[in-house]
Amino acid sequence: MAQDLTRDLMDLIERGRDRQLRLAVTGLSRAGKTAFLTSLVDQLRHSGLEARLDLLSAAREARLLGAQRVAQQDLGVPRFPFDQARAALEETPPRWPEPTRGISELRLKIRYRPARQAWLRPETTELTLDLFDYPGEWLLDLPLLEHDYLSWSQAQFADAGPARRSMLASFYAEVEELTPDAEIDEARLAAISEHYAEGLRAAREAGFSDLQPGRFLLPGELQGAPVLQFFPLPGLAEQDAETLDKLPEASVYAQLAKRFAYYQSHIVRPFYREHFRRFDRQIVLVDVLGALNAGPERFEDLSRALTRLMQSFNYGQRSLFSRLFTPRIDRLAIAATKADHVTPEQHQHLVALLEALLAEPLKNLKYANIPVKALSLASIRATEAREVSHQGHSTPALKGTTLDGESLLTFPGEVPSRLPTADFWTRQGFDFIAFRPQQAAPGALPHIRMDAALEWLIGDKLT
């Protein structure tokens, strides 16, 4: 106990000296969190020698000496599986690392020479960088804290588009026969919940992102627990609130409302309280290209999901988050990943489209005076940019290997620089191809603009 206290105190002092930083990485499933974190650790570990990090000032000025993994703080959080991820990239043929499934953590000690040498200032110094990786889906649950069961139910039925509805068909069929005042039948509630969870899983498989409650998709040890067995009830109206609240405890409505409240207090709040509010910096990764590939309904859905997700970073005084927790994040990055899957001259469009997609949240962040930067990057570069001559014209192209092992030279298409209109979707399809990683060579992993991301996220702490 005394030892713990001493350590916490030392930590606090370290923080005070700007020598410790907690950086979190998030994004919806398949946004590229694992690849990003693997590359970030890899770049910093090679930063003294081979890494190409010219956009990171400490590296450009040759002040960065390297980084080492050290023992993490919280023993109850899984360690980010860097070695396994790195090993996957070194296989023949190389493959993308396994995605992580919950929160994970990794601590690096970065050694560098301060920019200004001064009296009493040591020649080299250290920054402790705590890295966290967690599913963006968890942030989709924040708005759920603002609801009670009644308003949440209403919102769920209001939001779903036609494709989403069709995926929930078997749930709709079951739930329609259920009245709020029916006596509960445990087995039936469990069965209907399973239909609901199945619908959510099908929607995720089909590329949808705006899925609530997030923990239904990754139940872990709570598999089969009543807290993950609730669902929205159709046909509830605000004016019935009083009648509904008076239903006995053994009624369907009362039981579902109780489970919803338990989910809020035992699943959503603890994540914010124990993890989120302790992050200093955050990067949100977005697979813009994947959403373009998937068509208008899913693109729309991504936009809604991101707007919802970004609420967790809205620290305006009257924001939901600020009212509930004491936030700390003082700098934010949003990044369109897999930039190597389009030709280099499209990267600006990619950033513009990302900014358009996040226009509303970005406005709020600006108003709340949270510094935020949008960029495009490739954590681990899978392709090489080429020029192809065709009838005297020179066109940009990409060379890479598809996931099936086919070698390809292609021009994947143009990225729109603003939100695509209905007309746009019918006129032009998108078909960005998924490439597998290049065979790993000795030294740091090849990347695009990881150094720009690092400069924004930790650069100021390395001066």
CB of 190 to a copy of itself, least distance (A): 7
Q: Which is nearer to a copy of itself, 247 or 433 (CB)?
A: 247
Asked if 249 is part of the footprint of a copy of itself (rule: CB under 8 A), the reply reads yes
CA 444 to CA 34: how far, in whole Å?
16
Q: Work out the number of other CB atoms within 10 angstroms of the CB of residue 6.
A: 10
Asked if 282 is part of the footprint of a copy of itself (rule: CB under 8 A), the reply reads no
Contacts of residue 384, Cβ cutoff 8 Å, sequence gap at least 6: 398, 399, 400
The window from 73-81, 116-124, 129-137, 414-422 that contacts a copy of itself (CB under 8 A) reads: 73-81
Asked if 401 is part of the footprint of a copy of itself (rule: CB under 8 A), the reply reads no
CB of 275 to a copy of itself, least distance (A): 14
358, two tokens:
């996040």
The window from 67-75, 234-242, 306-314, 416-424 that contacts a copy of itself (CB under 8 A) reads: 67-75
Burial of residue 279 (CB within 10 Å: 0-12, 13-18, 19+) is buried
From 49, 190, 403, 409, residue interacting with a copy of itself (rule: CB under 8 A): 190
Sheet containing 407-410: give its strands across.
384-390, 393-401, 407-410
Asked if 227 is part of the footprint of a copy of itself (rule: CB under 8 A), the reply reads yes
Burial of residue 193 (CB within 10 Å: 0-12, 13-18, 19+) is buried
Contacts of residue 33, Cβ cutoff 8 Å, sequence gap at least 6: 25, 26, 27, 99, 100, 133, 285
Burial of residue 167 (CB within 10 Å: 0-12, 13-18, 19+) is buried
Asked if 418 is part of the footprint of a copy of itself (rule: CB under 8 A), the reply reads no
CB of 187 to a copy of itself, least distance (A): 6
From 250, 359, 409, 441, residue interacting with a copy of itself (rule: CB under 8 A): 250
Of 410, 397, 291, 394, the C-alpha closest to 343 is 397
Asked if 79 is part of the footprint of a copy of itself (rule: CB under 8 A), the reply reads yes
From 62, 158, 187, 422, residue interacting with a copy of itself (rule: CB under 8 A): 187
Q: Which is nearer to a copy of itself, 190 or 237 (CB)?
A: 190
Q: Which is nearer to a copy of itself, 219 or 344 (CB)?
A: 219
Asked if 217 is part of the footprint of a copy of itself (rule: CB under 8 A), the reply reads no
Q: Which is nearer to a copy of itself, 227 or 291 (CB)?
A: 227
Contacts of residue 73, Cβ cutoff 8 Å, sequence gap at least 6: 11, 105, 107, 130
CA 189 to CA 175: how far, in whole Å?
9
CA 115 to CA 74: how far, in whole Å?
32
Q: How many residues bind a copy of itself (CB under 8 A)?
A: 35
Give, in order, the Cα–Cα distances in Å from 149 to each of 156, 261, 273: 11, 8, 22
CB of 255 to a copy of itself, least distance (A): 6
Q: Which is nearer to a copy of itself, 79 or 111 (CB)?
A: 79
CB of 272 to a copy of itself, least distance (A): 18
Q: Which is nearer to a copy of itself, 3 or 426 (CB)?
A: 3
173, two tokens:
């069929």
Where does 240-389 have alpha helices with state H? 241-245, 252-263, 269-274, 288-294, 296-310, 320-324, 347-357, 359-367
27, amino acid identity: G
Asked if 266 is part of the footprint of a copy of itself (rule: CB under 8 A), the reply reads yes
Q: Work out the number of other CB atoms within 10 angstroms of the CB of residue 155.
A: 15
From 55, 163, 182, 184, residue interacting with a copy of itself (rule: CB under 8 A): 184
CA 217 to CA 27: how far, in whole Å?
15
**What binding mask, one character per residue, do residues 100-139 give for a copy of itself by CB under 8 A, x or -?**
--x-x-----------------------------------
Asked if 186 is part of the footprint of a copy of itself (rule: CB under 8 A), the reply reads yes
Q: Which is nearer to a copy of itself, 262 or 425 (CB)?
A: 262
CB of 378 to a copy of itself, least distance (A): 26
Q: Work out the number of other CB atoms within 10 angstroms of the CB of residue 325.
A: 17
From 221, 242, 387, 404, residue interacting with a copy of itself (rule: CB under 8 A): 221
Q: Which is nearer to a copy of itself, 65 or 222 (CB)?
A: 222
CB of 343 to a copy of itself, least distance (A): 38
**Integer-rounded Cα radius of gyration of the chain:** 24
CA 458 to CA 56: how far, in whole Å?
9
Asked if 344 is part of the footprint of a copy of itself (rule: CB under 8 A), the reply reads no
Instruction: Note the residues at the interface with a copy of itself (CB under 8 A).
Output: 3, 7, 69-72, 75-79, 81, 83, 102, 104, 184, 186-187, 190, 220-227, 229, 249-250, 255, 258-259, 262, 266
